[in-house]
Structure 1
């Protein structure tokens, strides 16, 4: 029904392709961290301006979103790399599921 075509700009050098992928992941992480900081600073300012006598409610966002940010950092910077065996298993899984 739908034939998936390879991307025309795929780099044949696997190390260069992996470096480009890693740079994209790091850029995404930087954007995530920037939005986290900006959103939480705004929440703290609103809390301070309007409800500073009450419970520090931005804590829930700081902690909850912070946990997600920590996992994002871990995913980008962990030493877990895609070795050839894992890549081959995934390629075989995709090819095996293509006829379904």
Structure 2
């Protein structure tokens, strides 16, 4: 693979950590995060506009407001937004990096405290 080696999380990292390559990787990551935040902002603004326009044309308690057609854009676009977020922040969004090692150490420390020595 040349100058890149595969990491455990299926991403590629340059073998030599020159500052230019690290800067380029960091720049691309920041652009991806910024793109997600823009996507989330557009999602909120567009869906707020849709829901407000429907609520202005009918009453909130009216059956039209609670129909599937009113909420399907929010639902399906929300699925796309979640997928975008997972692609940007990675699969470790909930557990973080080294979560397993930290948990194992925490349990080992807890067991050590509970032993009668």
With the length of structure 1 as denominator, give the TM-score of the two structures: 0.62
Flag the structure with higher strand content: 2
1:61 aligns with 2:73: yes
Give the length in aligned residue pairs.
70
Query: How far apart, CA to CA, are the structure 2 residues paired with 1:79 and 1:46?
Result: 36
- Which structure is larger by alpha-carbon Rg, 1 or 2? 2
Query: How far apart, CA to CA, are the structure 1 residues paired with 2:36 and 2:29?
Result: 10
**Structure 1 counterpart of 2:30, from 3, 19, 23:** 23
**Aligned-residue RMSD, C-alpha:** 2.0
With the length of structure 2 as denominator, give the TM-score of the two structures: 0.54
Alpha-carbon displacement from aligned partner over 1:41-96 (angstroms, at most 9, x marks no partner): 0011011111331143331011010000000000000058xxxxxxxxxxxxxxxx
Aligned equivalent of 1:44: 51
Unaligned runs of 5+ in 1: 1-10, 81-100
**Stretches of 4+ moved more than 3 A in 1?**
none
Unaligned runs of 5+ in 2: 1-17, 93-117
Greater relative contact order (Cα < 8 A, sep 6+): 1
